Structure 1
Amino acid sequence: MSTPAEIAVAGGFNFDLTAVDGAVQMSLVADTLRTLKSRRLWNDDILLSTYPKSGTHWTWEILNMIVAGKAEYTKHWQNSAWLEYRTEEELEELASPRILHTHLLPRQLPETVWKQRNKVVYVWRNPKDCAVSCFCQDSQQVWRDGTQDKYSFMGSWDDYLSLYRDGYAPSGSVFEHFHDWHKAAEEQMICQIQYEDMIKNCVHEIRRIAEYLNRPLPEKTYVAIAEACSFSNLKHANENIKDQTFHNKWQQGSSGYFRKGKSGDWKNWFTVAQNEKFDEISEAKLNKTFPY
Structure 2
Amino acid sequence: MSTPAEKAMAAGVSVDLVMLDGCVQAAFLADKLKTVKYLPIRDDDILLCTYPKSGTHWTWEILNMIVAGKAEYAKHWQNSAWLEYRTEEELEELASPRILHTHLLPSQLPDAVWDKRCKVVYVRRNAKDCLVSAYSQYSKQIWKDNPLGIRSYTGTWEAFVDLFLDGCLIGVPYFKHTIEWINISEAHKGFEICGLQYEDMKKDCVQEIRRMADYLGRPLSDTTYQAISDACSFKKLKHANEKIKDQTYHFHWQDGSSGYFRKGTTGDWKNWFTVAQSERFDKVYEERLKETFPY
Q: How is 1:35-46 mapped onto 2 (pairs within 5 angstroms)?
A: 35-46=35-46
2:14 counterpart of 1:14: yes
User: Within 1, Cα distance between the matches of 2:253 and 2:218?
Assistant: 37
Q: Is the 8 A contact 2:104 2:172 kept in 1?
A: no
Matching residue's letter, 1:189: E
Distance across 2 between alignment mates of 1:105 and 1:63? 20
- 1:91 equivalent to 2:91? Answer yes
CA gap of 1:147–1:178, structure 2 versus 1, over 3 A, is closer
Aligned pair count reads 292
C-alpha contact (below 8 Å) 2:140/2:254 kept by paired residues:
yes
Distance 1:213 1:167 in 2: 33
* Equivalent position of 1:286 in the other structure: 289
CA distance in 1, matches of 2:37, 2:280: 36
Aligned-pair identity in percent equals 63
Gap change, CA 1:145 and 1:70, over 3 Å in 2 = closer
Q: Deviations over 1:178-200 (max 9, x none)?
A: 11100114542111000000000
Structure 1 runs (4+) deviating above 3 angstroms are 144-147
**Tell me, which stretches of 5 or more residues in structure 2 are unaligned?**
none
- Structure 1: distance between partners of 2:243 and 2:185: 36
Instruction: Spell out the pairing of 1:71-110 with structure 2 (5 A cutoff).
Output: 71-110=71-110
Relative distance call for 1:145 and 1:237 in structure 2 (3 A) is closer
Supply the distance in 1 between the matched residues of 2:59 and 2:108 (Cα, whole angstroms).
21
Equivalent position amino acid for 2:232 in 1: C
Deviations 1:241-287 (A, max 9, x none): 00111212222274621100000000000000000100000000001
Aligned to 2:147: 147
1:268 counterpart residue number? 271
Report the equivalent of 2:31. Answer: 31
How far apart, in 2, do the equivalents of 1:27 and 1:226 lie?
38
Report deviation, 1:176. Answer: 1.0
Match of 1:213 in 2: 216
Alpha-carbon distance between aligned partners in 2 of 1:114 and 1:5, rounded to the nearest angstrom: 31
Amino acid at match of 2:38: S
The alpha-carbon deviation at position 173 of structure 1 amounts to: 1.4
Deviation, structure 1 residue 290: 3.5
What does residue 183 of structure 1 align with?
183
The Cα offsets for residues 44-65 of structure 1, whole Å up to 9 and x where unpaired, read as: 1100001000000000000000
CA change 1:284–1:68 in 2 (3 A) is: same
In 1, Cα distance between equivalents of 2:197 and 2:209: 12
Deviation at 1:24, TM superposition (A): 1.2
1:222 aligns with 2:228: no
> TM-score, structure 1 length as denominator?
0.97
Kept in 1, the 8 Å contact 2:282–2:293? The answer is no
Partner of 2:54: 54
Q: Structure 1: which 5+ residue stretches go unaligned?
A: none
**Are the counterparts in 2 of residues 144 and 150 from structure 1 also a CA contact under 8 Å?**
no
Within 1, Cα distance between the matches of 2:91 and 2:258? 28
- RMSD of aligned Cα (Å): 1.3
Q: Which stretch shifts more, 206-215 or 255-264? A: 255-264
Looking at structure 2, the residues matched to 254 and 81 of structure 1 have their Cα atoms a distance apart, in angstroms, of: 21
Does the 8 A contact of 2:37 with 2:111 survive in 1?
yes
Distance (whole Å) between structure 1 residues aligned to residue 80 and residue 150 of structure 2: 22
What SS does structure 2 have at the residue aligned with 1:91? helix
CA distance in 1, matches of 2:129, 2:144: 27
Offset from partner CA, 1:102-125 (integer Å, 9 cap, x none): 000111111111111100000010
Once residues 236 and 72 of structure 1 are traced to their aligned partners in structure 2, the CA distance between those partners, rounded to angstroms, is: 14
Partner of 2:250: 247
CA contact 1:131–1:164 (8 Å) conserved in 2: yes
Distance in 1 separating the partners of 2:258 and 2:82: 21
As a proportion of its length, which structure holds more strand? 1
The CA deviation at 1:143 is 2.1
Deviations 1:164-185 (A, max 9, x none): 1110001131111111100114
CA 244–145 in structure 1, closer or farther in 2 if over 3 Å, else same: closer
Report how far residue 147 of structure 1 moved. Answer: 3.4
Distance 1:111 1:131, change over 3 A: same
